[in-house]
Amino acid sequence: MLARGAECHNPFMTTYLITGANRGIGLEFARQLSTRKDSVILATAREPEKAQDLARLVHRVIPLDVADEASIAGLGAQVKEPVDILINNAGVGSDQKSINELTMDELRRVFAVNSFGPLLVAKALLANLRAGGRKTIFNITSQLGSIANNKGGSSYPYRGSKSALNQMAVCLANELRPEGFCCVVAHPGWVKTDMGGQAAPLSPEESVKGLLEIIDRLKPEDSGTFFNYDGKTLPW
Protein backbone atom coordinates (compact mmCIF):
# COMPACT_ATOMS: atom_id res chain seq x y z
CA MET A 1 0.00 0.00 0.00
CA LEU A 2 1.28 3.47 -0.85
CA ALA A 3 2.18 5.93 1.84
CA ARG A 4 0.37 9.24 2.23
CA GLY A 5 0.69 11.45 -0.82
CA ALA A 6 -0.94 8.99 -3.22
CA GLU A 7 -4.27 10.75 -2.75
CA CYS A 8 -2.73 13.87 -4.34
CA HIS A 9 -2.06 12.08 -7.62
CA ASN A 10 -3.67 13.86 -10.57
CA PRO A 11 -5.17 11.27 -12.95
CA PHE A 12 -4.82 13.76 -15.84
CA MET A 13 -1.04 13.95 -15.41
CA THR A 14 1.55 11.30 -16.27
CA THR A 15 4.20 10.72 -13.62
CA TYR A 16 7.60 9.56 -14.86
CA LEU A 17 10.53 8.38 -12.75
CA ILE A 18 13.90 8.43 -14.53
CA THR A 19 16.97 6.82 -12.99
CA GLY A 20 20.49 8.08 -13.70
CA ALA A 21 19.14 11.39 -14.96
CA ASN A 22 21.96 13.77 -14.13
CA ARG A 23 23.57 13.59 -17.58
CA GLY A 24 23.39 12.11 -21.07
CA ILE A 25 20.24 10.30 -22.14
CA GLY A 26 18.64 10.56 -18.70
CA LEU A 27 19.04 14.34 -18.62
CA GLU A 28 17.67 14.57 -22.15
CA PHE A 29 14.60 12.58 -21.09
CA ALA A 30 14.07 15.19 -18.38
CA ARG A 31 14.54 18.05 -20.86
CA GLN A 32 12.02 16.76 -23.38
CA LEU A 33 9.46 15.69 -20.80
CA SER A 34 9.72 19.08 -19.06
CA THR A 35 8.16 20.70 -22.14
CA ARG A 36 5.02 18.62 -21.73
CA LYS A 37 2.31 20.27 -19.66
CA ASP A 38 0.84 16.94 -18.57
CA SER A 39 4.04 15.44 -17.11
CA VAL A 40 5.28 15.14 -13.54
CA ILE A 41 8.97 14.21 -13.56
CA LEU A 42 10.78 12.51 -10.71
CA ALA A 43 14.46 11.80 -11.31
CA THR A 44 17.30 10.12 -9.48
CA ALA A 45 20.99 10.89 -9.20
CA ARG A 46 23.74 9.50 -7.02
CA GLU A 47 24.67 13.04 -5.93
CA PRO A 48 21.61 15.31 -6.24
CA GLU A 49 23.59 18.29 -4.96
CA LYS A 50 25.69 18.13 -8.15
CA ALA A 51 22.66 17.82 -10.46
CA GLN A 52 21.64 21.48 -10.71
CA ASP A 53 20.73 21.28 -14.40
CA LEU A 54 18.46 18.34 -13.67
CA ALA A 55 16.87 20.04 -10.65
CA ARG A 56 15.72 22.93 -12.84
CA LEU A 57 13.81 20.54 -15.11
CA VAL A 58 12.07 18.14 -12.75
CA HIS A 59 9.70 18.18 -9.80
CA ARG A 60 12.10 16.36 -7.50
CA VAL A 61 15.59 14.86 -7.57
CA ILE A 62 15.89 11.75 -5.42
CA PRO A 63 19.24 10.34 -4.23
CA LEU A 64 19.79 6.83 -5.57
CA ASP A 65 22.75 4.56 -6.18
CA VAL A 66 21.47 1.68 -8.29
CA ALA A 67 24.46 -0.45 -7.27
CA ASP A 68 23.56 -0.16 -3.59
CA GLU A 69 20.82 -2.49 -2.36
CA ALA A 70 20.08 -0.35 0.71
CA SER A 71 19.75 2.78 -1.43
CA ILE A 72 17.33 0.99 -3.77
CA ALA A 73 15.32 -0.45 -0.89
CA GLY A 74 14.80 3.07 0.48
CA LEU A 75 13.44 4.36 -2.83
CA GLY A 76 9.88 3.25 -2.18
CA ALA A 77 9.82 5.18 1.07
CA GLN A 78 10.96 8.35 -0.72
CA VAL A 79 8.41 8.15 -3.54
CA LYS A 80 4.95 8.69 -2.09
CA GLU A 81 2.96 9.16 -5.28
CA PRO A 82 1.85 6.67 -7.95
CA VAL A 83 4.30 6.28 -10.83
CA ASP A 84 2.93 5.76 -14.33
CA ILE A 85 6.19 5.14 -16.19
CA LEU A 86 9.52 4.00 -14.78
CA ILE A 87 12.45 4.69 -17.10
CA ASN A 88 15.35 2.50 -15.95
CA ASN A 89 18.11 4.52 -17.57
CA ALA A 90 21.06 4.33 -15.17
CA GLY A 91 23.93 2.35 -16.64
CA VAL A 92 27.70 2.09 -16.95
CA GLY A 93 30.17 1.02 -19.59
CA SER A 94 33.38 -0.93 -19.15
CA ASP A 95 36.93 -0.55 -20.40
CA GLN A 96 37.49 -4.29 -20.17
CA LYS A 97 36.99 -5.73 -23.64
CA SER A 98 38.98 -8.94 -24.14
CA ILE A 99 38.96 -12.14 -22.11
CA ASN A 100 42.50 -11.44 -20.90
CA GLU A 101 41.47 -8.15 -19.29
CA LEU A 102 38.56 -9.48 -17.23
CA THR A 103 38.38 -9.21 -13.46
CA MET A 104 35.69 -10.35 -11.04
CA ASP A 105 35.46 -6.88 -9.52
CA GLU A 106 34.65 -5.29 -12.88
CA LEU A 107 32.09 -7.93 -13.76
CA ARG A 108 30.38 -7.40 -10.41
CA ARG A 109 30.40 -3.61 -10.83
CA VAL A 110 28.90 -3.62 -14.32
CA PHE A 111 26.29 -6.30 -13.64
CA ALA A 112 25.27 -4.58 -10.39
CA VAL A 113 24.44 -1.34 -12.21
CA ASN A 114 23.20 -2.59 -15.58
CA SER A 115 21.38 -5.80 -14.61
CA PHE A 116 20.58 -6.15 -10.92
CA GLY A 117 19.88 -2.46 -10.27
CA PRO A 118 17.03 -2.00 -12.77
CA LEU A 119 15.26 -5.13 -11.56
CA LEU A 120 15.50 -4.12 -7.91
CA VAL A 121 14.38 -0.57 -8.70
CA ALA A 122 11.28 -2.02 -10.35
CA LYS A 123 10.71 -4.16 -7.25
CA ALA A 124 11.08 -1.14 -4.95
CA LEU A 125 8.52 0.84 -6.96
CA LEU A 126 6.00 -1.93 -7.66
CA ALA A 127 3.38 -0.48 -5.31
CA ASN A 128 3.77 2.93 -6.96
CA LEU A 129 3.53 1.43 -10.44
CA ARG A 130 0.49 -0.64 -9.51
CA ALA A 131 -1.21 2.56 -8.37
CA GLY A 132 -0.33 4.37 -11.63
CA GLY A 133 -2.38 4.42 -14.79
CA ARG A 134 0.26 3.28 -17.29
CA LYS A 135 2.04 0.49 -15.34
CA THR A 136 5.05 0.80 -17.64
CA ILE A 137 8.65 -0.29 -17.00
CA PHE A 138 10.91 0.98 -19.78
CA ASN A 139 14.47 -0.35 -19.57
CA ILE A 140 17.33 1.23 -21.51
CA THR A 141 19.45 -1.62 -22.84
CA SER A 142 21.81 -1.95 -25.81
CA GLN A 143 21.83 -3.85 -29.07
CA LEU A 144 25.18 -5.18 -27.81
CA GLY A 145 23.09 -7.30 -25.45
CA SER A 146 21.53 -9.10 -28.43
CA ILE A 147 22.90 -12.64 -28.65
CA ALA A 148 21.66 -13.01 -32.22
CA ASN A 149 23.51 -9.84 -33.29
CA ASN A 150 26.77 -10.71 -31.53
CA LYS A 151 29.17 -11.26 -34.41
CA GLY A 152 32.26 -9.62 -32.95
CA GLY A 153 32.57 -10.87 -29.39
CA SER A 154 34.52 -8.87 -26.79
CA SER A 155 33.07 -6.32 -24.31
CA TYR A 156 32.15 -9.14 -21.95
CA PRO A 157 30.99 -7.12 -18.93
CA TYR A 158 28.86 -4.70 -20.92
CA ARG A 159 27.39 -7.18 -23.41
CA GLY A 160 26.71 -9.76 -20.70
CA SER A 161 25.09 -7.25 -18.34
CA LYS A 162 22.73 -6.00 -21.04
CA SER A 163 21.82 -9.55 -22.08
CA ALA A 164 21.01 -10.26 -18.44
CA LEU A 165 18.89 -7.10 -18.24
CA ASN A 166 16.97 -8.24 -21.33
CA GLN A 167 16.26 -11.65 -19.81
CA MET A 168 15.14 -10.16 -16.51
CA ALA A 169 12.86 -7.71 -18.30
CA VAL A 170 11.16 -10.56 -20.16
CA CYS A 171 10.73 -12.44 -16.87
CA LEU A 172 9.17 -9.32 -15.38
CA ALA A 173 6.92 -8.87 -18.42
CA ASN A 174 5.62 -12.42 -18.10
CA GLU A 175 5.08 -12.24 -14.34
CA LEU A 176 3.30 -8.87 -14.39
CA ARG A 177 1.35 -9.28 -17.63
CA PRO A 178 -1.83 -10.46 -15.82
CA GLU A 179 -1.86 -7.11 -13.97
CA GLY A 180 -1.77 -5.11 -17.19
CA PHE A 181 1.89 -4.09 -16.97
CA CYS A 182 4.01 -3.28 -20.01
CA CYS A 183 7.70 -4.11 -19.48
CA VAL A 184 10.06 -3.58 -22.43
CA VAL A 185 13.71 -2.96 -23.26
CA ALA A 186 14.94 -0.39 -25.78
CA HIS A 187 18.25 0.30 -27.49
CA PRO A 188 18.84 4.09 -27.60
CA GLY A 189 21.19 3.90 -30.57
CA TRP A 190 24.84 4.89 -30.55
CA VAL A 191 24.56 8.29 -28.89
CA LYS A 192 26.97 11.19 -28.32
CA THR A 193 27.29 10.92 -24.54
CA ASP A 194 30.16 10.38 -22.11
CA MET A 195 29.69 6.65 -22.66
CA GLY A 196 29.03 6.72 -26.41
CA GLY A 197 31.75 9.22 -27.30
CA GLN A 198 31.78 12.04 -29.82
CA ALA A 199 32.12 9.69 -32.82
CA ALA A 200 28.56 8.45 -32.24
CA PRO A 201 26.14 9.34 -35.05
CA LEU A 202 23.10 10.18 -32.89
CA SER A 203 22.49 13.18 -30.67
CA PRO A 204 20.75 12.67 -27.32
CA GLU A 205 17.88 14.76 -28.68
CA GLU A 206 17.31 12.40 -31.63
CA SER A 207 17.58 9.29 -29.51
CA VAL A 208 15.21 10.42 -26.77
CA LYS A 209 12.70 11.78 -29.28
CA GLY A 210 12.44 8.28 -30.76
CA LEU A 211 12.32 6.58 -27.36
CA LEU A 212 9.51 8.85 -26.15
CA GLU A 213 7.54 8.12 -29.31
CA ILE A 214 7.78 4.42 -28.39
CA ILE A 215 6.73 5.09 -24.79
CA ASP A 216 3.77 7.20 -25.90
CA ARG A 217 2.28 4.41 -27.99
CA LEU A 218 3.08 1.41 -25.78
CA LYS A 219 0.23 -0.98 -25.07
CA PRO A 220 0.08 -3.94 -22.67
CA GLU A 221 0.41 -6.33 -25.61
CA ASP A 222 3.86 -4.83 -26.37
CA SER A 223 5.18 -6.19 -23.08
CA GLY A 224 8.31 -8.28 -23.51
CA THR A 225 9.48 -6.51 -26.70
CA PHE A 226 13.04 -5.45 -27.58
CA PHE A 227 12.80 -2.09 -29.37
CA ASN A 228 15.28 -0.03 -31.32
CA TYR A 229 15.04 3.74 -30.70
CA ASP A 230 13.36 4.16 -34.11
CA GLY A 231 10.48 1.87 -33.15
CA LYS A 232 11.70 -1.24 -34.99
CA THR A 233 12.13 -4.48 -33.05
CA LEU A 234 15.49 -6.14 -32.46
CA PRO A 235 16.36 -9.84 -32.17
CA TRP A 236 17.19 -11.27 -28.76
C-alpha–C-alpha distance, residues 161 and 113, integer Å: 9
Out of 16, 156, 158, 229, pick the active-site residue.
158
Cα gap 183→40, rounded to integer Å = 20
Q: Which helix (H) or strand (E) holds 227?
A: strand 226-228
Query: Is 156 noted as a catalytic residue in this protein?
Result: no
Instruction: Report the alpha-carbon distance of residue 74 to residue 66 in Å, rounded.
Output: 11
DSSP string, 39-97: EEEEEEES-GGG-HHHHTTSSEEEE--TT-HHHHHTHHHH--S--SEEEE------S--
Q: How many CB atoms lie within 10 A of CB 160?
A: 18
Please list the active-site residues. Answer: 158
